[in-house]
């Protein structure tokens, strides 16, 4: 889950004892003895303090790590805990993208759009890239629906009727969702809301 270079970066942050031990276990990526953990910590430039009791700390981790016959192992819950801290297989640049996107969330005024974007970021951080793309697209369509409704609904309805005489005028953003996304994009391109594709 972590390379030695990534481990070096994470171990020198202000994190709890438990989190640092979980990071070392994640980098070992196999059942490990405390001696193995101390060795890897030292390789990463972090000496586990003699005042720490790694076994007690991991035993009190509420299932984030377990003691197996062959040594300590990080559990799936422990891996998820580290992901929640921001530890992923993502490169530092990709992690920065997620951090930057999160910083923009408060500036998104529409609650639904903000929730779509936040879920897209969570998917990205969990390395669920297809899901991140889907959630990003839903956010984009949501923004376009609201823009059309607020700024050019009469022109949109006129263009929609010109192309399809059966179109009933949209009177809400939900009404815009009756149209397929492909047709919606064609209609808003025709009225110069977006560039023609």
Strands (E), the chain: 65-68, 71-74
pLDDT at 122: 87
Q: Is the pTM of this model over 0.75?
A: no
pLDDT of 197 above 70? no
Predicted pLDDT of residue 92: 60
- How sure is the predictor about 91, in pLDDT bands with cuts at 50, 70 and 90? low
pLDDT digits (tens, 9 = 90+) for 136-171: 999 999 999 999 999 999 999 999 999 999 999 999
Digit-coded pLDDT (tens) for 62-80: 999 999 999 999 988 888 8
Short-list 195, 196, 156, 197, CA closest to 179: 156
Average pLDDT over residues 84-113: 80
Domains and CATH numbers, the chain: 4-85 (1.10.10.10), 89-136 (no CATH), 152-197 (no CATH)
Residue 18: Cβ within 10 Å count: 18
Percentage helix, strand, coil, to 5, in the chain? 65, 5, 30
Question: Which among 34, 8, 197 is positioned nearest to 92, based on CA atoms?
Answer: 8
CA atoms within 13 A on the CB side of 69: 0
- Give CA–CA dist 55/154, Å, rounded: 68
Output the CA torsion sign for 152, 114, 94, 1. negative
| Better-scored residue on pLDDT, 22 or 128 | 22
Q: How many CB atoms lie within 10 A of CB 182?
A: 9
């Amino acid at each position: 889950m972590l390379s030695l270079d990534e481990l070096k970066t994470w171990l020198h942050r202000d994190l709890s004892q438990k989190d640092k031990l979980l990071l070392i276990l994640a980098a070992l990526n196999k059942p490990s003895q405390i001696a193995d953990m101390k060795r890897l910590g030292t390789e990463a430039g972090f000496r586990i303090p003699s005042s720490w009791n790694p076994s007690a700390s991991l035993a009190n981790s509420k299932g984030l790590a377990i003691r197996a016959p062959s040594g300590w192992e990080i559990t799936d819950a422990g891996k998820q805990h580290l992901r929640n801290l921001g530890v992923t297989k993502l490169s530092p640049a990709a992690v920065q993208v997620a951090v930057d996107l999160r910083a923009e969330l408060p500036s998104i005024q529409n609650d639904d759009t903000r929730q779509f974007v936040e879920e897209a970021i969570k998917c990205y951080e969990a390395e669920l890239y297809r899901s991140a793309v889907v959630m990003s697209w839903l956010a984009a369509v949501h923004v376009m629906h609201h823009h059309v409704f607020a700024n050019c609904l009469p022109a949109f309805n006129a263009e929609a009727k010109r192309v399809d005489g059966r179109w009933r005028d949209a009177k809400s953003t939900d009404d815009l969702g009756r149209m397929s996304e492909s047709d919606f994009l064609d209609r808003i391109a025709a009225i110069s809301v977006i560039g023609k594709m």
